[in-house]
Amino acid sequence: MKEKILLHICCAPCATAVLENLRSDGYDVTGYFYNPSIHPWKEFKRRLDALKEWAPSVGLPVIYQDDYPLENNIRMLLGGENRCFTCFLDRMKKTSELASDQGIRLFTSTLSVSPYQNHELLVQAAEEASAQNETEFIYNDHRSSYLRSIKLSREAGVYRQPYCGCVFSERDRYLKIKSPGSL
């Protein structure tokens, strides 16, 4: 029997290639959309809807968390020393908790396909999250599949966003400032 894994999905484009890789590694994948940092709400909705449209086309079951706690999220991002670590930790904790609730031991994230994210920071956050319950973070470096994710998402007509997500990253793309979680 295939081992189940809960895949945190930051967006549909990143999910395309990661899903392909995980399935070819023999996993039974369930997706989880949880990205409260995406700003503004219209952009959040656009990424959410893109995933809702694409996931059924590849037979991917997805659990959607579509509430939008803006005030709490801004407070949270400003409260940590490194906002990207705080953002990773929040998403990995929620994914790990959901995996545990669903009886799924393994979890991972589509963030691991991005050449722009700091993978060491992501792994650190995920390991801290998994230490709180009986789950295990599976880290695979999917960066070599990044171009494939662009190709697959273009072929599927999936919306690709021009910035990471939060209001800070939306500003930083114009000012050419690197986020504290990017390489």
Pick the binder of ligand SF4 from 6, 51, 84, 152 (CB under 6 A). 84
For the bound state, the minimum distance from the C-beta of residue 167 to ligand SF4, rounded and expressed in Å, comes to 8
164 belongs to the binding site for ligand SF4 (CB under 6 A): yes
11 belongs to the binding site for ligand SF4 (CB under 6 A): no
Q: Which is nearer to ligand SF4, 145 or 179 (CB)?
A: 179
Q: Which is nearer to ligand SF4, 73 or 104 (CB)?
A: 73
13 belongs to the binding site for ligand SF4 (CB under 6 A): no
3-state secondary structure of 27: strand
Cα three-residue angle 41-45-50, rounded to 5 degrees: 150
Q: What is the rounded distance in angstroms from the CA atom of residue 62 to the CA atom of residue 161?
A: 20
For the bound state, the minimum distance from the C-beta of residue 140 to ligand SF4, rounded and expressed in Å, comes to 19
Look-up: residue for tokens 């081992």? 3
For the bound state, the minimum distance from the C-beta of residue 69 to ligand SF4, rounded and expressed in Å, comes to 14
87 belongs to the binding site for ligand SF4 (CB under 6 A): yes
For the bound state, the minimum distance from the C-beta of residue 149 to ligand SF4, rounded and expressed in Å, comes to 17
Cβ-proximal residues to 56 (8 Å cutoff; 6+ apart), any chain: none
Name which of 8, 44, 37, 3 is nearest 23 in CA terms.
3
Q: Name the packing angle between helices 83-102 and 119-130 (round to 10°).
A: 40
Among positions 62-81, residues that touch ligand SF4 (CB under 6 A) are 77
What order do you get walking across the sheet with 3-9 strand by strand? Answer: 62-64, 27-33, 3-9, 106-109, 136-137
Q: Which is nearer to ligand SF4, 19 or 84 (CB)?
A: 84
Q: Which is nearer to ligand SF4, 21 or 35 (CB)?
A: 35
Contact 11, 51 (CB under 8 A): yes
181 belongs to the binding site for ligand SF4 (CB under 6 A): yes
List residues near ligand SF4 by CB under 6 A.
Answer: 37, 77, 83-84, 87, 164-166, 168-169, 179, 181
